[in-house]
Structure 1
Amino acid sequence: MRIGFSVPQFGPFADPGRSAAMCAALEALGCHSLWVADRLLAPLAAPDGYLGGGPMPVRYATHLDPLLALGVAATATERVRLGSSTLNALWQPPLVLARALTTLDLISRGRLDVGLGLGWMREEYEAAGVPWQGRGARLEETLDVLDAVWRSDPVVHTGRLWTVPESTVLPKPLQGPRPPVLLGGFTPPALERVGRRADGWLAASMPLPYLEGLWAVAVEAAERAGRDPAGLRRVFRVNPEVTVAEVDPSEVHHRGTVRQICDHLRVMCGAGSDEVLVDLQLTTDSPGEFLDLAAAFMAELTGPVPN
Protein backbone atom coordinates (compact mmCIF):
# COMPACT_ATOMS: atom_id res chain seq x y z
CA MET A 1 0.00 0.00 0.00
CA ARG A 2 1.21 3.47 -0.90
CA ILE A 3 0.45 6.30 1.53
CA GLY A 4 -0.29 9.92 0.65
CA PHE A 5 -1.39 13.03 2.51
CA SER A 6 -3.10 16.28 1.57
CA VAL A 7 -1.06 19.33 0.73
CA PRO A 8 -1.93 21.86 3.48
CA GLN A 9 -3.98 24.52 1.68
CA PHE A 10 -7.29 25.11 3.52
CA GLY A 11 -8.31 27.09 6.59
CA PRO A 12 -5.42 27.63 9.03
CA PHE A 13 -3.08 25.88 6.59
CA ALA A 14 -3.71 28.31 3.70
CA ASP A 15 -0.31 29.96 3.96
CA PRO A 16 2.36 29.20 1.33
CA GLY A 17 5.31 29.30 3.74
CA ARG A 18 3.54 27.11 6.29
CA SER A 19 2.42 24.71 3.55
CA ALA A 20 5.96 24.40 2.15
CA ALA A 21 7.44 23.55 5.55
CA MET A 22 4.71 21.01 6.23
CA CYS A 23 5.15 19.35 2.82
CA ALA A 24 8.86 18.93 3.53
CA ALA A 25 8.03 17.44 6.93
CA LEU A 26 5.49 15.04 5.41
CA GLU A 27 8.06 13.85 2.89
CA ALA A 28 10.51 13.28 5.76
CA LEU A 29 7.91 10.98 7.39
CA GLY A 30 8.35 8.65 4.43
CA CYS A 31 5.01 9.09 2.62
CA HIS A 32 4.74 8.39 -1.09
CA SER A 33 2.64 11.31 -2.33
CA LEU A 34 1.05 14.70 -1.62
CA TRP A 35 -2.25 15.85 -3.12
CA VAL A 36 -4.08 19.16 -3.57
CA ALA A 37 -7.84 19.65 -3.72
CA ASP A 38 -9.90 22.28 -5.53
CA ARG A 39 -12.47 24.73 -4.17
CA LEU A 40 -13.57 28.08 -5.56
CA LEU A 41 -15.97 29.17 -2.83
CA ALA A 42 -18.01 28.06 0.15
CA PRO A 43 -21.66 29.22 -0.14
CA LEU A 44 -23.17 30.57 3.06
CA ALA A 45 -26.34 28.60 2.30
CA ALA A 46 -26.08 24.82 2.18
CA PRO A 47 -25.11 23.96 -1.41
CA ASP A 48 -27.06 21.40 -3.39
CA GLY A 49 -25.37 18.02 -3.35
CA TYR A 50 -23.22 18.45 -0.26
CA LEU A 51 -22.98 15.24 1.74
CA GLY A 52 -24.96 15.48 4.94
CA GLY A 53 -27.19 18.23 3.58
CA GLY A 54 -25.77 20.93 5.86
CA PRO A 55 -23.38 23.83 5.28
CA MET A 56 -19.84 23.15 4.12
CA PRO A 57 -17.03 23.30 6.68
CA VAL A 58 -16.11 26.93 7.27
CA ARG A 59 -12.43 26.40 6.54
CA TYR A 60 -13.15 25.58 2.87
CA ALA A 61 -13.84 29.30 2.47
CA THR A 62 -10.11 29.96 2.92
CA HIS A 63 -8.01 28.19 0.32
CA LEU A 64 -4.91 28.33 -1.84
CA ASP A 65 -5.12 27.81 -5.59
CA PRO A 66 -4.49 24.09 -6.18
CA LEU A 67 -2.01 24.42 -9.04
CA LEU A 68 0.03 27.12 -7.30
CA ALA A 69 -0.08 25.12 -4.05
CA LEU A 70 1.23 22.13 -5.99
CA GLY A 71 4.06 24.31 -7.27
CA VAL A 72 4.91 25.21 -3.66
CA ALA A 73 4.91 21.51 -2.75
CA ALA A 74 7.11 20.71 -5.76
CA THR A 75 9.80 23.17 -4.73
CA ALA A 76 9.66 22.08 -1.07
CA THR A 77 10.12 18.36 -1.78
CA GLU A 78 12.42 16.10 -3.76
CA ARG A 79 10.98 12.58 -3.88
CA VAL A 80 7.21 12.32 -3.34
CA ARG A 81 4.71 12.12 -6.19
CA LEU A 82 2.52 15.21 -6.48
CA GLY A 83 -1.10 15.06 -7.57
CA SER A 84 -4.54 16.63 -7.55
CA SER A 85 -7.55 14.93 -5.99
CA THR A 86 -9.32 16.30 -7.69
CA LEU A 87 -8.72 19.27 -9.93
CA ASN A 88 -12.00 20.47 -11.40
CA ALA A 89 -11.04 20.15 -15.03
CA LEU A 90 -13.69 22.32 -16.67
CA TRP A 91 -13.11 25.72 -15.12
CA GLN A 92 -10.45 26.77 -17.62
CA PRO A 93 -9.82 26.08 -21.31
CA PRO A 94 -7.98 22.78 -21.78
CA LEU A 95 -5.08 24.36 -23.67
CA VAL A 96 -4.47 26.68 -20.70
CA LEU A 97 -4.79 23.73 -18.33
CA ALA A 98 -2.28 21.72 -20.39
CA ARG A 99 0.26 24.55 -20.18
CA ALA A 100 -0.06 24.79 -16.38
CA LEU A 101 0.18 21.03 -15.87
CA THR A 102 3.18 20.74 -18.19
CA THR A 103 4.93 23.47 -16.22
CA LEU A 104 4.19 21.63 -12.96
CA ASP A 105 5.60 18.40 -14.36
CA LEU A 106 8.80 20.25 -15.27
CA ILE A 107 9.02 22.07 -11.91
CA SER A 108 8.60 18.76 -10.06
CA ARG A 109 11.09 16.97 -12.33
CA GLY A 110 8.54 14.47 -13.56
CA ARG A 111 6.63 13.76 -10.34
CA LEU A 112 3.15 14.93 -11.40
CA ASP A 113 -0.04 12.84 -11.28
CA VAL A 114 -2.89 14.65 -13.04
CA GLY A 115 -6.10 13.97 -11.11
CA LEU A 116 -9.20 15.42 -12.77
CA GLY A 117 -12.86 15.50 -11.84
CA LEU A 118 -16.10 17.26 -12.63
CA GLY A 119 -16.85 18.64 -9.17
CA TRP A 120 -20.28 18.53 -7.63
CA MET A 121 -21.24 22.11 -6.77
CA ARG A 122 -23.49 24.03 -9.16
CA GLU A 123 -22.65 27.30 -7.43
CA GLU A 124 -18.97 26.98 -8.40
CA TYR A 125 -19.86 26.35 -12.05
CA GLU A 126 -22.10 29.39 -12.07
CA ALA A 127 -19.38 31.56 -10.54
CA ALA A 128 -16.80 30.24 -13.04
CA GLY A 129 -19.14 30.91 -15.98
CA VAL A 130 -19.09 27.27 -17.08
CA PRO A 131 -22.30 25.39 -18.04
CA TRP A 132 -23.44 22.72 -15.58
CA GLN A 133 -25.13 20.69 -18.29
CA GLY A 134 -22.95 18.60 -20.59
CA ARG A 135 -20.11 18.17 -18.11
CA GLY A 136 -19.27 14.64 -19.21
CA ALA A 137 -18.90 15.57 -22.87
CA ARG A 138 -16.85 18.62 -21.91
CA LEU A 139 -14.48 16.42 -19.89
CA GLU A 140 -14.12 13.98 -22.78
CA GLU A 141 -13.02 16.76 -25.11
CA THR A 142 -10.76 18.23 -22.41
CA LEU A 143 -8.97 14.87 -22.28
CA ASP A 144 -8.72 14.91 -26.09
CA VAL A 145 -7.04 18.32 -26.04
CA LEU A 146 -4.63 17.32 -23.27
CA ASP A 147 -3.63 14.23 -25.23
CA ALA A 148 -3.14 16.29 -28.40
CA VAL A 149 -0.93 18.81 -26.60
CA TRP A 150 1.15 16.21 -24.78
CA ARG A 151 1.47 13.53 -27.44
CA SER A 152 1.63 15.43 -30.74
CA ASP A 153 4.00 17.83 -32.46
CA PRO A 154 2.62 19.83 -34.16
CA VAL A 155 -0.59 20.03 -32.14
CA VAL A 156 -4.00 20.19 -33.80
CA HIS A 157 -7.53 19.64 -32.46
CA THR A 158 -10.98 20.25 -33.92
CA GLY A 159 -13.90 19.50 -31.63
CA ARG A 160 -17.37 20.64 -30.71
CA LEU A 161 -16.14 23.04 -28.00
CA TRP A 162 -12.56 23.93 -28.85
CA THR A 163 -10.35 24.29 -31.92
CA VAL A 164 -6.57 24.35 -31.79
CA PRO A 165 -5.07 25.23 -35.20
CA GLU A 166 -1.98 23.32 -36.26
CA SER A 167 0.55 24.78 -33.85
CA THR A 168 3.78 24.30 -32.00
CA VAL A 169 3.11 23.90 -28.27
CA LEU A 170 6.32 23.43 -26.31
CA PRO A 171 7.79 22.32 -24.00
CA LYS A 172 6.36 18.85 -23.51
CA PRO A 173 6.07 17.26 -20.05
CA LEU A 174 9.12 15.50 -18.69
CA GLN A 175 7.08 12.30 -18.29
CA GLY A 176 6.37 10.62 -21.59
CA PRO A 177 4.17 10.15 -23.41
CA ARG A 178 2.31 12.22 -20.81
CA PRO A 179 1.87 12.47 -17.04
CA PRO A 180 -0.45 9.82 -15.57
CA VAL A 181 -4.09 10.90 -15.70
CA LEU A 182 -6.46 9.72 -12.97
CA LEU A 183 -10.17 10.51 -12.94
CA GLY A 184 -12.57 10.98 -10.06
CA GLY A 185 -16.27 10.18 -9.87
CA PHE A 186 -18.74 7.84 -8.21
CA THR A 187 -21.29 7.08 -10.93
CA PRO A 188 -21.30 4.32 -13.55
CA PRO A 189 -20.52 6.78 -16.41
CA ALA A 190 -17.55 8.13 -14.44
CA LEU A 191 -16.17 4.64 -13.79
CA GLU A 192 -16.75 3.66 -17.42
CA ARG A 193 -14.61 6.64 -18.43
CA VAL A 194 -11.89 5.58 -15.97
CA GLY A 195 -11.72 2.11 -17.49
CA ARG A 196 -11.83 3.36 -21.07
CA ARG A 197 -9.22 6.11 -21.04
CA ALA A 198 -7.58 6.89 -17.66
CA ASP A 199 -4.58 5.53 -15.81
CA GLY A 200 -6.52 5.15 -12.59
CA TRP A 201 -9.42 6.12 -10.33
CA LEU A 202 -9.48 8.82 -7.67
CA ALA A 203 -11.80 7.03 -5.26
CA ALA A 204 -12.80 7.58 -1.67
CA SER A 205 -13.12 5.57 1.48
CA MET A 206 -16.54 3.90 1.32
CA PRO A 207 -18.35 0.74 2.38
CA LEU A 208 -16.81 -2.23 0.58
CA PRO A 209 -19.93 -3.45 -1.31
CA TYR A 210 -20.34 -0.01 -2.88
CA LEU A 211 -16.66 0.02 -3.88
CA GLU A 212 -16.84 -3.40 -5.49
CA GLY A 213 -19.88 -2.46 -7.56
CA LEU A 214 -18.30 0.71 -8.90
CA TRP A 215 -14.94 -0.87 -9.62
CA ALA A 216 -16.57 -3.65 -11.62
CA VAL A 217 -17.82 -0.99 -14.06
CA ALA A 218 -14.26 0.27 -14.64
CA VAL A 219 -12.89 -3.25 -15.06
CA GLU A 220 -15.52 -4.16 -17.64
CA ALA A 221 -14.98 -0.89 -19.54
CA ALA A 222 -11.22 -1.45 -19.64
CA GLU A 223 -11.68 -4.96 -20.99
CA ARG A 224 -14.08 -3.76 -23.69
CA ALA A 225 -11.50 -1.14 -24.71
CA GLY A 226 -8.76 -3.77 -24.96
CA ARG A 227 -6.95 -2.46 -21.88
CA ASP A 228 -5.60 -4.44 -18.93
CA PRO A 229 -7.61 -3.53 -15.81
CA ALA A 230 -4.67 -4.65 -13.65
CA GLY A 231 -2.79 -1.58 -14.89
CA LEU A 232 -5.31 0.85 -13.40
CA ARG A 233 -4.33 2.57 -10.16
CA ARG A 234 -6.75 3.35 -7.33
CA VAL A 235 -6.26 6.16 -4.83
CA PHE A 236 -8.64 6.08 -1.87
CA ARG A 237 -9.21 9.50 -0.28
CA VAL A 238 -10.38 9.69 3.33
CA ASN A 239 -11.23 12.93 5.16
CA PRO A 240 -11.41 11.29 8.58
CA GLU A 241 -12.97 12.50 11.75
CA VAL A 242 -10.43 11.00 14.15
CA THR A 243 -11.88 9.96 17.51
CA VAL A 244 -10.30 8.83 20.76
CA ALA A 245 -12.87 6.12 21.45
CA GLU A 246 -13.83 3.42 18.98
CA VAL A 247 -16.98 4.01 16.92
CA ASP A 248 -19.55 1.66 15.44
CA PRO A 249 -18.01 -0.43 12.60
CA SER A 250 -20.54 0.99 10.14
CA GLU A 251 -18.89 4.41 10.46
CA VAL A 252 -15.22 3.53 10.02
CA HIS A 253 -15.08 4.54 6.36
CA HIS A 254 -15.13 8.17 7.52
CA ARG A 255 -14.66 8.35 11.31
CA GLY A 256 -13.10 6.40 14.15
CA THR A 257 -9.77 5.88 15.85
CA VAL A 258 -6.60 5.89 13.79
CA ARG A 259 -6.50 2.10 13.97
CA GLN A 260 -10.14 1.68 12.95
CA ILE A 261 -9.73 3.96 9.93
CA CYS A 262 -6.49 2.25 8.92
CA ASP A 263 -8.06 -1.21 9.27
CA HIS A 264 -10.78 -0.12 6.84
CA LEU A 265 -8.22 1.31 4.40
CA ARG A 266 -6.29 -1.97 4.48
CA VAL A 267 -9.47 -3.84 3.54
CA MET A 268 -10.10 -1.49 0.62
CA CYS A 269 -6.58 -1.73 -0.80
CA GLY A 270 -6.59 -5.01 -2.64
CA ALA A 271 -3.52 -4.50 -4.85
CA GLY A 272 0.05 -3.42 -4.29
CA SER A 273 -0.46 -0.41 -6.54
CA ASP A 274 -3.40 0.89 -4.47
CA GLU A 275 -2.84 4.09 -2.53
CA VAL A 276 -4.52 5.91 0.32
CA LEU A 277 -4.83 9.67 0.60
CA VAL A 278 -5.39 10.91 4.14
CA ASP A 279 -6.63 14.49 4.33
CA LEU A 280 -6.15 15.81 7.86
CA GLN A 281 -7.17 19.43 7.28
CA LEU A 282 -10.68 19.06 8.73
CA THR A 283 -9.64 17.18 11.87
CA THR A 284 -6.59 19.25 12.93
CA ASP A 285 -6.04 22.95 13.63
CA SER A 286 -2.27 23.45 13.72
CA PRO A 287 0.82 22.24 11.86
CA GLY A 288 2.02 20.34 14.93
CA GLU A 289 -1.29 18.53 15.37
CA PHE A 290 -1.46 17.76 11.63
CA LEU A 291 2.06 16.32 11.50
CA ASP A 292 1.67 14.32 14.71
CA LEU A 293 -1.49 12.72 13.36
CA ALA A 294 0.17 12.07 9.99
CA ALA A 295 2.97 10.29 11.84
CA ALA A 296 0.38 8.17 13.68
CA PHE A 297 -1.23 7.14 10.37
CA MET A 298 2.18 6.34 8.87
CA ALA A 299 3.11 4.17 11.85
CA GLU A 300 -0.22 2.33 11.75
CA LEU A 301 -0.25 1.76 8.00
CA THR A 302 3.40 0.71 7.68
CA GLY A 303 3.63 -1.39 10.86
CA PRO A 304 2.66 -5.04 11.32
CA VAL A 305 -0.96 -5.78 10.45
CA PRO A 306 -2.84 -6.23 13.77
CA ASN A 307 -4.43 -9.60 14.47
Structure 2
Amino acid sequence: MTKINAIVREVTALTDRISEFQFAAADGSAMPQWEAGAHVVFDLPDGDTRAYSLISFDPIPEAPESYRIAVQREPEGKGGSTHMHGLKPGAEITCAGPKNDFPLTQGAPAVLLAGGIGITPMISMATTLKAAGQAFDFHYSGRSAPLMAYRDTLRETFGDALHLHCDDDDSALNLDAVIASAGAVAHLYVCGPKGLIEAVKAKAEAAGIAPDRIHFELFDAPQEQAGDSAFEVELASSGEVFTIPPGQSIIDVLEAGGVDVMYDCQRGDCGICQCDVISGTPDHRDVVLSEAERAAGNVMQICVSRAKSPRLVLDI
Protein backbone atom coordinates (compact mmCIF):
# COMPACT_ATOMS: atom_id res chain seq x y z
CA MET A 1 0.00 0.00 0.00
CA THR A 2 1.22 3.50 -0.83
CA LYS A 3 2.71 5.35 2.11
CA ILE A 4 1.98 8.99 2.89
CA ASN A 5 4.77 11.15 4.29
CA ALA A 6 2.89 13.49 6.58
CA ILE A 7 3.59 16.36 8.90
CA VAL A 8 1.72 17.26 12.08
CA ARG A 9 0.00 20.63 11.76
CA GLU A 10 -1.82 20.99 15.07
CA VAL A 11 -2.09 19.20 18.41
CA THR A 12 -5.02 20.01 20.72
CA ALA A 13 -5.64 18.56 24.17
CA LEU A 14 -9.28 17.45 24.44
CA THR A 15 -9.19 15.82 27.90
CA ASP A 16 -6.46 14.84 30.36
CA ARG A 17 -5.76 11.70 28.31
CA ILE A 18 -7.06 12.46 24.81
CA SER A 19 -5.42 14.75 22.26
CA GLU A 20 -6.41 15.63 18.72
CA PHE A 21 -3.85 15.60 15.90
CA GLN A 22 -4.26 17.26 12.52
CA PHE A 23 -1.73 16.28 9.88
CA ALA A 24 -1.23 16.85 6.17
CA ALA A 25 1.00 15.61 3.35
CA ALA A 26 4.54 16.88 3.82
CA ASP A 27 4.73 17.95 0.16
CA GLY A 28 1.51 20.00 0.40
CA SER A 29 -0.51 17.73 -1.90
CA ALA A 30 -4.10 16.71 -1.18
CA MET A 31 -4.70 13.67 0.99
CA PRO A 32 -6.64 10.68 -0.41
CA GLN A 33 -10.41 10.81 -0.09
CA TRP A 34 -12.04 8.67 2.57
CA GLU A 35 -15.49 7.62 3.75
CA ALA A 36 -17.11 7.58 7.18
CA GLY A 37 -15.71 4.82 9.39
CA ALA A 38 -12.26 4.78 7.75
CA HIS A 39 -8.96 4.66 9.59
CA VAL A 40 -5.30 5.19 8.80
CA VAL A 41 -2.41 3.07 10.01
CA PHE A 42 0.66 4.92 11.30
CA ASP A 43 4.20 3.57 11.34
CA LEU A 44 5.97 3.71 14.71
CA PRO A 45 9.75 4.00 15.24
CA ASP A 46 9.99 0.43 16.62
CA GLY A 47 8.55 -1.03 13.42
CA ASP A 48 5.09 -1.52 14.90
CA THR A 49 1.94 0.22 13.64
CA ARG A 50 -1.20 1.80 15.12
CA ALA A 51 -4.58 2.44 13.51
CA TYR A 52 -6.67 5.54 14.29
CA SER A 53 -10.08 6.50 12.91
CA LEU A 54 -10.49 9.64 10.84
CA ILE A 55 -12.75 12.39 12.18
CA SER A 56 -14.82 15.02 10.40
CA PHE A 57 -17.59 17.28 11.69
CA ASP A 58 -18.14 18.53 8.12
CA PRO A 59 -19.00 16.62 4.91
CA ILE A 60 -15.84 14.84 3.77
CA PRO A 61 -14.29 16.59 0.74
CA GLU A 62 -13.02 14.78 -2.35
CA ALA A 63 -9.49 16.08 -1.83
CA PRO A 64 -8.92 16.71 1.90
CA GLU A 65 -6.18 19.16 2.80
CA SER A 66 -5.57 17.36 6.07
CA TYR A 67 -6.68 14.50 8.29
CA ARG A 68 -7.87 14.63 11.89
CA ILE A 69 -7.56 11.90 14.53
CA ALA A 70 -7.84 11.70 18.33
CA VAL A 71 -5.59 9.48 20.44
CA GLN A 72 -6.15 8.36 24.01
CA ARG A 73 -2.94 7.90 25.99
CA GLU A 74 -2.76 4.36 27.37
CA PRO A 75 0.09 4.14 29.93
CA GLU A 76 -0.53 0.41 30.33
CA GLY A 77 -0.36 -0.20 26.56
CA LYS A 78 2.56 -1.11 24.32
CA GLY A 79 3.77 2.44 23.72
CA GLY A 80 1.97 3.45 20.54
CA SER A 81 -0.26 6.04 22.16
CA THR A 82 2.67 7.37 24.20
CA HIS A 83 4.63 7.92 20.99
CA MET A 84 1.69 9.67 19.35
CA HIS A 85 1.24 11.94 22.35
CA GLY A 86 4.90 12.92 22.06
CA LEU A 87 4.36 14.38 18.58
CA LYS A 88 4.49 18.17 18.27
CA PRO A 89 3.51 20.47 15.36
CA GLY A 90 6.08 20.05 12.62
CA ALA A 91 6.83 16.41 13.47
CA GLU A 92 7.02 14.02 10.53
CA ILE A 93 5.17 10.72 10.48
CA THR A 94 4.37 8.05 7.89
CA CYS A 95 1.00 6.42 7.38
CA ALA A 96 -0.83 4.24 4.89
CA GLY A 97 -3.78 5.48 2.88
CA PRO A 98 -7.28 5.28 4.39
CA LYS A 99 -8.89 1.87 4.86
CA ASN A 100 -12.48 1.22 5.87
CA ASP A 101 -13.46 -1.95 7.77
CA PHE A 102 -16.44 -0.19 9.41
CA PRO A 103 -18.53 1.34 6.60
CA LEU A 104 -22.04 2.75 6.80
CA THR A 105 -24.90 0.96 5.05
CA GLN A 106 -26.21 3.55 2.62
CA GLY A 107 -29.85 4.61 2.78
CA ALA A 108 -30.68 2.87 6.07
CA PRO A 109 -31.58 4.48 9.40
CA ALA A 110 -28.90 4.02 12.05
CA VAL A 111 -28.31 3.79 15.77
CA LEU A 112 -24.74 4.80 16.64
CA LEU A 113 -23.27 3.72 19.97
CA ALA A 114 -19.81 4.83 21.08
CA GLY A 115 -18.00 3.88 24.28
CA GLY A 116 -15.07 6.04 25.38
CA ILE A 117 -12.51 6.74 22.66
CA GLY A 118 -14.73 4.68 20.33
CA ILE A 119 -16.42 8.02 19.63
CA THR A 120 -13.92 8.82 16.87
CA PRO A 121 -15.31 6.84 13.88
CA MET A 122 -18.86 7.64 14.95
CA ILE A 123 -18.37 11.37 14.41
CA SER A 124 -17.84 11.02 10.66
CA MET A 125 -20.70 8.53 10.50
CA ALA A 126 -23.08 10.98 12.17
CA THR A 127 -21.80 13.78 9.91
CA THR A 128 -22.47 11.68 6.81
CA LEU A 129 -25.95 10.63 7.97
CA LYS A 130 -26.87 14.22 8.83
CA ALA A 131 -25.70 15.51 5.42
CA ALA A 132 -27.75 12.77 3.69
CA GLY A 133 -30.88 13.65 5.66
CA GLN A 134 -30.93 10.10 7.03
CA ALA A 135 -32.57 9.37 10.41
CA PHE A 136 -30.16 8.38 13.18
CA ASP A 137 -29.74 8.30 16.96
CA PHE A 138 -26.28 8.91 18.37
CA HIS A 139 -25.36 7.54 21.83
CA TYR A 140 -22.02 8.37 23.48
CA SER A 141 -21.16 6.70 26.79
CA GLY A 142 -18.25 7.43 29.13
CA ARG A 143 -17.24 7.10 32.74
CA SER A 144 -17.78 10.80 33.46
CA ALA A 145 -18.30 13.99 31.45
CA PRO A 146 -14.75 15.41 31.84
CA LEU A 147 -13.32 12.25 30.25
CA MET A 148 -15.49 12.46 27.13
CA ALA A 149 -13.86 14.12 24.12
CA TYR A 150 -15.79 16.56 21.90
CA ARG A 151 -18.94 16.52 24.05
CA ASP A 152 -19.72 20.25 23.59
CA THR A 153 -18.99 20.21 19.84
CA LEU A 154 -21.11 17.09 19.48
CA ARG A 155 -24.06 18.80 21.18
CA GLU A 156 -23.73 21.83 18.93
CA THR A 157 -23.40 19.75 15.76
CA PHE A 158 -25.93 16.96 16.24
CA GLY A 159 -28.50 18.49 18.60
CA ASP A 160 -31.36 16.22 19.65
CA ALA A 161 -29.93 13.22 17.80
CA LEU A 162 -27.13 13.06 20.39
CA HIS A 163 -27.55 11.33 23.74
CA LEU A 164 -24.70 11.58 26.26
CA HIS A 165 -24.45 8.87 28.93
CA CYS A 166 -22.19 9.15 31.99
CA ASP A 167 -21.64 6.18 34.29
CA ASP A 168 -21.49 8.43 37.36
CA ASP A 169 -24.93 10.06 37.07
CA ASP A 170 -28.54 9.30 36.15
CA SER A 171 -27.78 9.49 32.41
CA ALA A 172 -25.93 6.13 32.48
CA LEU A 173 -26.36 4.00 29.37
CA ASN A 174 -29.44 1.77 29.21
CA LEU A 175 -28.29 -0.77 26.67
CA ASP A 176 -31.64 -2.52 26.38
CA ALA A 177 -33.35 0.77 25.49
CA VAL A 178 -30.71 1.63 22.88
CA ILE A 179 -31.05 -1.76 21.20
CA ALA A 180 -34.85 -1.55 21.29
CA SER A 181 -34.63 1.82 19.53
CA ALA A 182 -33.12 0.10 16.48
CA GLY A 183 -36.56 -1.35 15.74
CA ALA A 184 -37.08 -3.58 12.74
CA VAL A 185 -35.02 -1.75 10.11
CA ALA A 186 -32.26 0.40 11.63
CA HIS A 187 -28.64 -0.73 11.54
CA LEU A 188 -26.73 -0.76 14.82
CA TYR A 189 -23.12 0.53 14.84
CA VAL A 190 -20.98 0.02 17.93
CA CYS A 191 -17.42 1.10 18.65
CA GLY A 192 -15.62 0.88 21.96
CA PRO A 193 -14.12 -1.61 24.41
CA LYS A 194 -14.56 -5.35 24.08
CA GLY A 195 -17.00 -5.63 26.98
CA LEU A 196 -19.38 -3.15 25.38
CA ILE A 197 -19.31 -4.90 22.00
CA GLU A 198 -19.87 -8.33 23.53
CA ALA A 199 -22.82 -7.03 25.56
CA VAL A 200 -24.38 -5.33 22.54
CA LYS A 201 -23.96 -8.42 20.35
CA ALA A 202 -25.55 -10.69 22.95
CA LYS A 203 -28.50 -8.39 23.63
CA ALA A 204 -29.04 -7.56 19.96
CA GLU A 205 -29.06 -11.24 18.98
CA ALA A 206 -31.50 -11.96 21.85
CA ALA A 207 -33.72 -9.13 20.58
CA GLY A 208 -33.86 -10.73 17.15
CA ILE A 209 -31.72 -8.18 15.30
CA ALA A 210 -30.23 -9.86 12.24
CA PRO A 211 -26.41 -10.20 12.30
CA ASP A 212 -26.11 -8.20 9.07
CA ARG A 213 -27.63 -5.18 10.88
CA ILE A 214 -25.02 -5.26 13.67
CA HIS A 215 -21.71 -3.56 12.86
CA PHE A 216 -18.84 -3.08 15.27
CA GLU A 217 -15.23 -2.00 15.60
CA LEU A 218 -13.09 -2.84 18.60
CA PHE A 219 -10.93 -0.15 20.15
CA ASP A 220 -9.11 -2.40 22.61
CA ALA A 221 -5.67 -3.64 21.65
CA PRO A 222 -5.24 -7.30 22.69
CA GLN A 223 -3.61 -7.62 26.09
CA GLU A 224 -1.80 -10.55 27.65
CA GLN A 225 -3.97 -12.10 30.34
CA ALA A 226 -2.86 -13.40 33.72
CA GLY A 227 -2.33 -17.14 33.55
CA ASP A 228 -1.52 -17.23 29.83
CA SER A 229 0.83 -20.09 29.06
CA ALA A 230 2.60 -21.47 26.01
CA PHE A 231 0.81 -23.87 23.67
CA GLU A 232 1.57 -25.56 20.37
CA VAL A 233 0.03 -25.00 16.93
CA GLU A 234 0.35 -27.71 14.29
CA LEU A 235 -0.27 -26.82 10.65
CA ALA A 236 -2.35 -29.54 9.01
CA SER A 237 -0.89 -28.85 5.56
CA SER A 238 2.75 -29.41 6.50
CA GLY A 239 2.82 -30.98 9.96
CA GLU A 240 5.02 -28.12 11.20
CA VAL A 241 4.63 -27.36 14.90
CA PHE A 242 5.09 -23.90 16.41
CA THR A 243 5.19 -22.92 20.09
CA ILE A 244 3.12 -19.83 20.93
CA PRO A 245 4.51 -18.19 24.08
CA PRO A 246 2.61 -15.77 26.32
CA GLY A 247 2.62 -12.26 24.91
CA GLN A 248 2.75 -13.37 21.27
CA SER A 249 -0.12 -14.23 18.96
CA ILE A 250 -0.40 -17.22 16.66
CA ILE A 251 0.04 -14.80 13.75
CA ASP A 252 3.20 -13.32 15.29
CA VAL A 253 4.84 -16.73 15.59
CA LEU A 254 3.70 -18.10 12.23
CA GLU A 255 4.90 -15.02 10.36
CA ALA A 256 8.27 -15.18 12.12
CA GLY A 257 8.47 -18.79 10.97
CA GLY A 258 7.89 -17.87 7.34
CA VAL A 259 4.22 -18.89 7.13
CA ASP A 260 2.04 -16.61 4.98
CA VAL A 261 -1.24 -15.89 6.78
CA MET A 262 -4.09 -13.52 5.99
CA TYR A 263 -5.09 -10.93 8.59
CA ASP A 264 -5.97 -7.28 9.04
CA CYS A 265 -7.15 -5.73 12.32
CA GLN A 266 -5.18 -7.89 14.80
CA ARG A 267 -7.82 -6.97 17.40
CA GLY A 268 -10.29 -9.80 16.79
CA ASP A 269 -13.06 -7.79 15.17
CA CYS A 270 -12.71 -8.16 11.38
CA GLY A 271 -12.78 -11.94 10.89
CA ILE A 272 -10.20 -12.02 8.10
CA CYS A 273 -7.76 -14.29 9.99
CA GLN A 274 -10.42 -16.89 10.85
CA CYS A 275 -9.33 -20.46 10.26
CA ASP A 276 -10.74 -23.94 10.88
CA VAL A 277 -9.75 -25.88 13.99
CA ILE A 278 -9.19 -29.57 13.23
CA SER A 279 -8.43 -30.58 16.81
CA GLY A 280 -7.83 -28.95 20.16
CA THR A 281 -9.82 -26.42 22.16
CA PRO A 282 -9.54 -22.71 21.33
CA ASP A 283 -9.59 -19.97 23.96
CA HIS A 284 -11.74 -17.45 22.07
CA ARG A 285 -10.89 -13.76 22.65
CA ASP A 286 -12.48 -12.19 19.58
CA VAL A 287 -15.76 -10.31 19.18
CA VAL A 288 -16.62 -11.88 15.81
CA LEU A 289 -17.99 -15.32 16.66
CA SER A 290 -21.46 -16.02 18.02
CA GLU A 291 -21.86 -17.93 21.26
CA ALA A 292 -22.84 -21.01 19.27
CA GLU A 293 -19.68 -20.79 17.15
CA ARG A 294 -17.54 -20.36 20.26
CA ALA A 295 -19.12 -23.41 21.86
CA ALA A 296 -18.63 -25.52 18.73
CA GLY A 297 -14.91 -24.65 18.63
CA ASN A 298 -14.62 -25.38 14.92
CA VAL A 299 -13.17 -22.00 13.92
CA MET A 300 -11.06 -19.31 15.61
CA GLN A 301 -9.50 -15.90 15.03
CA ILE A 302 -5.76 -16.49 15.20
CA CYS A 303 -4.85 -12.84 15.75
CA VAL A 304 -6.05 -12.77 19.38
CA SER A 305 -7.36 -16.18 20.45
CA ARG A 306 -5.21 -18.77 22.20
CA ALA A 307 -5.67 -22.39 23.32
CA LYS A 308 -7.15 -24.17 26.31
CA SER A 309 -5.55 -27.44 25.17
CA PRO A 310 -1.79 -28.11 24.91
CA ARG A 311 -1.99 -28.20 21.09
CA LEU A 312 -4.22 -26.90 18.32
CA VAL A 313 -4.21 -28.43 14.84
CA LEU A 314 -5.25 -25.72 12.39
CA ASP A 315 -6.30 -25.94 8.75
CA ILE A 316 -3.38 -23.88 7.52
TM-score (normalised: structure 1): 0.32
Q: Which has the higher contact order (CA 8 A, sep 6+)?
A: 1
**Per residue, is there more strand in 1 or in 2?**
2
**Pair member with larger Rg:** 2
**Per residue, is there more helix in 1 or in 2?**
1
